[in-house]
Amino acid sequence: MVLNIKKVSQIWNYFKKGRGEIGLVLSLYSMLLSYSIKFNVDFSIYQYITATIIFFVICFFLGVFLAEKVEPENQRISPYAQDGLKSAIHLQQSLVYYYEGKEEKAIEEMNKAIEIRRRWLKDTNYF
């Protein structure tokens, strides 16, 4: 059996993403442990392992949901990301104009890209 590092890495990243967003489940899990100590309830090792496995699975599926549904939507509606895409399009168009020999239009497109990105700088004295 060959270990697929890419698949394991992807599963781990989903778990981390879900784990980062699942504070409520973590607090419930911690509450379970603290109540078992406070009220002297003896959970078996199998019950702890079962709770840990359930916790891992919930974190994994939440991570998959966040990575595939939430983050792409955030990128789509983010003004910063949209301006980055617009600027990249202007830069690509400037290269097309430059290779076509239209240096004036290439410079104009490059300046548009600079202006779009300059909006996000606190200090605009770079240029």
pLDDT for position 45:
75
Per 3-state DSSP, the chain is made up of helix, strand and coil in percentages (nearest 5) of 80, 0, 20
Spatial separation of the C-alpha atoms in residues 42 and 38, rounded to whole Å: 11
pLDDT in the model for residue 25: 66
Distances (CA, A) of 108 to 65, 105, 118: 42, 5, 15
Whether residue 83 contacts residue 117, with contact meaning beta carbons closer than 8 Å, is answered with yes
Instruction: Give the pLDDT score at 11.
Output: 82
- Which structural domain, as residue segments, surrounds residue 59? 5-77
How many domains does the chain contain in total? Answer: 2
The pLDDT value given to residue 75: 65
State whether 9 and 48 are in the same domain: yes
**For residue 67, what pLDDT is reported?**
75
Residues of the chain with pLDDT under 50: none
Is there a domain that residue 123 lies in?
no
Note the pTM of the prediction, 2 decimals: 0.41
Write down the pLDDT at residue 32. Answer: 76
Q: Domain check: are 72 and 105 in the same one?
A: no
Nearest by Cα to 12 from 60, 52, 57: 60
